[in-house]
Structure 1
Amino acid sequence: MSEPALKIVPNELSRQAEAALGQWIDPIIGCDLISAGAVIKLEAFTFRLYIDLHLGFPADHYGPQLRNELERYLLANTQAKVVEVNVTWSVSAAPLTAQTLPAIKHLIAVASGKGGVGKSTTATNLALALAAQGARVGMLDADLYGPSQPRMLGLSELPDTVDGKLQPLVGHGIQTMSIGFLVDEEQPIIWRGPMITQALTRLLNETEWQDLDYLIVDMPPGTGDIHMTLAQKMPVSGAVIVTTPQDIALLDARKGLKMFDKVNIPVLGIIENMSTHVCSNCGHEEHIFGAGGAQRMAEEHDSELLGELPLDIRIRSGADDGEPIVASDPQGELAVAYGDIALRAAARVWLQSRVRQQTVPTIVVE
């Protein structure tokens, strides 16, 4: 579905507003709101401005924040005495995903080249952050050799089966399916490639997902059978790469990024985990694993750094206890950091969809 054209009633104030909006670089979207196609209506009457914005990603909390900041900005940069900004949002399904998985609008893979960089913890908190903005979110634990989502989301039951469909378990509002629900926590999965491929496909297709905006896929480390299955058989909207600043981790992360490029899955950006550590006793900050590695990687590969996350004991303990930090402290600074990263990733899914559909808005002057 094409997005509505931007309608502008022309006068001096509307021209001022349009120029000002063209200079406003939204920190989440990464470009101005007109180029993003977010401004769908702009009306100017004497000294009053009315603007309708529509975002293609969840924004229950970000929308009011954006509205307030934009109203102050336009009051300061135009002759308007009154500015009213209305912000709405919705998530449109990717066409291929809607055809093959009608209950899911977008699949987002969270991957890493190397194990131990906090990929699963990051995936869990990103899912919770999107849900906090109003999205309906699911989690597919695709790390079949080392499933961790049951523990992280505090789930341990055996899923029900209704009419041959597995019913996802719900932890902290996240619909979840994992091989970890079907085997003992300490039982190793000793399967060859074809068995792994079949298991992952069945977990995705034989789970009765309920009207999801996003299904987060927690990938295993490396670039093996599961990654190829994902690329060949699943309509993935984009991938996020998680790494630490350490050179060894970055080396493997680059391989993961190049793999997604080769299979034509857009890389939404890079997340630098364990970026810095702040001593809880003295406040001293130290870059234990190095500094700036993910930023350099993003620049070298024409990608984007979505954000940096600290090495913090609260993140680790929350994951171990089934109480992820975004759920246990939703107003804290760590939840805010995860929230910004999640919104940037979702915004890039929206922008990539717009580019693929070639729905750049047409300006209509009335």
Structure 2
Amino acid sequence: MYDQYYNLSSRPFQLTPDPQFYFESATHRKALSYLGYGLAQGEGFIVITGEVGAGKSTLVSHLMQSVDKARLTAATIVTSQLDGLDMVHMTAESFGIDTRGLDKAATLKSIENFLHAEARAGRRCLLVVDEAQNLSVDALEELRMLSNFQLGSSALLQIFLLGQPEFRDLVRDAPELEQLRQRVIATHHLEPMDANEVEPYIVHRLSRAGWNGRPEVTADAYAVLFAETAGVPRKLNTLMNRVMLMGAVEQVDTLDGRMVGAVIADMAGKPFAYEAPMSTHAPVQETAPEAEKRSAVPEPEMTKTPVEDVATDKIAIVPQTAPSFADSAELEALTARIAMLEQRVTEQEAALRRVLSMMIDWMDKETRLDARFMQNNRAA
């Protein structure tokens, strides 16, 4: 799609969390410090909360890339709408423990044996639970029980809980979670980025995708982006994806505030007016005010000649000549303007054909990847 038009190596604003594009805003830096502190402690719960799209999953993915996998065995649970029994089985499966035919007691024993084996091999175990706001109190209580497994005086399992703001309120206020609350050793709430972090964020992600300055993003575009998204990373990614696509369709190398505003209106289903600047490949024309002045078509002059109407003895005024231009310069200016508009239409048609071609190529690529994935699954 637009990555091909702008010669990017990948899509810089994809919505899937990717640690390659991790950007350390001020709030993410604080959260990473808490996570590092928690890992150093090797026990208890660490709670990270934030609004939808605040970057919680990307933060943890980045952290997992930086740890020594020879000394840490990590597992992640994303499907968190679970009751207590489901949570026990899901934890076992996340660590690769076979639970087929096992009841809850046998599953817990298998988890404990696994944790002991990892500890004897010199590895600590970490369980990351995403979307924790969906967990029932029963499931949270089972997680607390799992955190009780010990070898001597050392905890065998540490747990990260990632959730939306309501989960922070639940952990803080629910009377039935008092024992879990006492085991929380660090907590942090991810805030949206500040206005002055939007430009570095956009530039960082573009640069990670091989950006060489094309397209240019103007200062007023950054201001509109922040005003619309309030600095939430996922909202920024969604909006920038659409802006980049519109830039490719319009064949422009500068993304400005007018274009961002047009995309926002389009996404909201509202009418908008946007005229992209002429392509740099278009013929050089006069400056806009001069061209407008010179291309104005004069009103046709009427040569009035009295003609006697024999029947009524009235004088009729009739045009004697066809409309004419004052001089050849006006005709040349009009001709040039028509040529410019025809060039613009040709460019837009070419852009649409190119976008359709990129979409077909992209769909073919996705189809091949899906087929390869299914083939690998059947082979496995």
- Alignment TM-score, normalising by the size of structure 1: 0.29
- Pair member with larger Rg: 2
The answer to which structure has the higher helix fraction is 2
The answer to which structure has the higher strand fraction is 1
- Alignment TM-score, normalising by the size of structure 2: 0.28
